[in-house]
């Protein structure tokens, strides 16, 4: 089965620092989908991005950017000029095309941004 | 925001008692999912539904059953709750094609404590 590893359990930065959250995945499928979700202290899960395995273009959305590299099976997430409101748990997730209802999540990275 | 509600939002129960959690959506989405969130594990899929009366097991289905008699409602039942089922339960929905072709949107979660 597919697997997602988020090796960083917790990260703490000072406001305005850049921070990168790592995500490494394992899959035997050639077609798959990668996701990032944000879980702020209030507890809800907020969708951030979806990427399919055929699209290796990096994505930028405001202060957020994502670096997808199939060669290293990584889908890293960078926040530029972090803000206190970015404090949350961030989850990376993966689903394979042959069973695309089975989405596997990483354990999550807790990001704390201090003022 | 996707129209997803979960009830109850919090529940404390005793070992051995049956528990039913409800997920209600107003989006008329075909796919519905139940996950549990535990520290160190991220979110794990329990069961999902791909239509009325159509359900399938996820990664951690033991001890859980589900039912979907209407498009808008997806019920998760713990037949005989155990302390290991203490967790936060999330419902999610997606539209036309499951995870790969559509984004999953999550409900607010239900915190269940089994004493």
Contacts of B59 by beta carbon, 8 Å cutoff, 6+ apart: A1, A102, A104, B44, B45, B46
In this prediction, residue A7 carries a pLDDT of: 95
**Closest by Cα among B36, B26, B34, B30 to B1:** B26
pLDDT range class, residue B97, cuts 50, 70, 90:
low
Pick among A8, A102, A109, A110 to test the B interface (most B CBs inside 10 A) = A102
In this prediction, residue B104 carries a pLDDT of: 86
Q: Are the beta carbons of A101 and B33 separated by less than 8 Å?
A: yes
Asked if A94 is an interface residue toward chain B (Cβ–Cβ < 8 A), one would say no
In this prediction, residue B101 carries a pLDDT of: 57
Distance, in Å, from the CA atom of B10 to the CA atom of B16, rounded to the nearest integer, reads 18
The answer to whether residue B6 scores a pLDDT higher than 70 is yes
Q: Are the beta carbons of A102 and B41 separated by less than 8 Å?
A: no
Instruction: Indicate the average pLDDT of chain A.
Output: 94
Which residues from B are below 8 Å from A31, CB to CB?
100
Alpha-carbon gap: B11 to the closest alpha carbon of chain A (Å):
16
Distance, in Å, from the CA atom of B103 to the CA atom of A38, rounded to the nearest integer, reads 14
Which DSSP letter does residue A20 get? Answer: E
Q: Are the beta carbons of A4 and B100 separated by less than 8 Å?
A: no
Pick among B2, B41, B98 to test the A interface (most A CBs inside 10 A) = B98
In this prediction, residue B1 carries a pLDDT of: 56
Q: For the segment A31-79, what is each residue's pLDDT rounded down to a tens digit? A: 899 999 999 999 999 999 999 899 888 889 999 999 999 999 999 999 9
Contacts of A61 by beta carbon, 8 Å cutoff, 6+ apart: A49
Residue A107 has its nearest CB partner, among B42, B58, B88, at B42
- Whether B35 contacts A78, CB under 8 Å: no
Asked if B57 is an interface residue toward chain A (Cβ–Cβ < 8 A), one would say no
In this prediction, residue B96 carries a pLDDT of: 60
In this prediction, residue A114 carries a pLDDT of: 97
The answer to whether residue B25 scores a pLDDT higher than 80 is yes
Which residues from A are below 8 Å from B5, CB to CB?
none
Distance, in Å, from the CA atom of B41 to the CA atom of B50, rounded to the nearest integer, reads 25
The answer to whether residue B66 scores a pLDDT higher than 70 is yes
Q: Are the beta carbons of B99 and A95 separated by less than 8 Å?
A: yes
Asked if B100 is an interface residue toward chain A (Cβ–Cβ < 8 A), one would say yes
């Amino acid at each position: 089965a597919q697997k997602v590893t988020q090796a960083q359990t917790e990260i703490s930065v000072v406001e305005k620092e850049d921070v990168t959250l790592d995500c490494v995945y394992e899959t035997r499928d050639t077609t798959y989908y990668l996701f990032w979700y944000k879980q702020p202290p209030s507890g809800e899960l907020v969708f951030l991005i979806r990427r399919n395995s055929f699209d290796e273009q990096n994505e930028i959305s405001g202060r957020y950017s994502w670096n997808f590299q199939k060669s290293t099976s990584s889908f890293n997430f960078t926040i530029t000029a972090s803000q206190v409101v970015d404090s949350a748990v961030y989850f990376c997730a993966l689903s394979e095309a042959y069973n695309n209802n089975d989405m596997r999540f990483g354990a999550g990275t807790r990001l704390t941004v201090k003022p | 925001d996707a129209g997803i509600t979960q009830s109850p939002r919090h529940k404390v129960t005793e070992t051995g008692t049956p528990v039913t959690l409800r997920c209600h959506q107003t989006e008329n989405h075909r796919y519905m999912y139940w996950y549990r969130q535990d520290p160190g594990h991220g979110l794990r899929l329990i069961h999902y539904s791909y239509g009325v009366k159509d359900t399938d097991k996820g990664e951690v289905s033991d001890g859980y059953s589900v039912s979907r008699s209407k498009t808008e409602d997806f019920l998760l039942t713990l037949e005989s709750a155990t302390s290991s089922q203490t967790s936060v339960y999330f419902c999610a929905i997606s539209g036309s094609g499951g995870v790969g072709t559509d984004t999953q949107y999550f409900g607010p979660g239900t915190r269940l404590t089994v004493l």
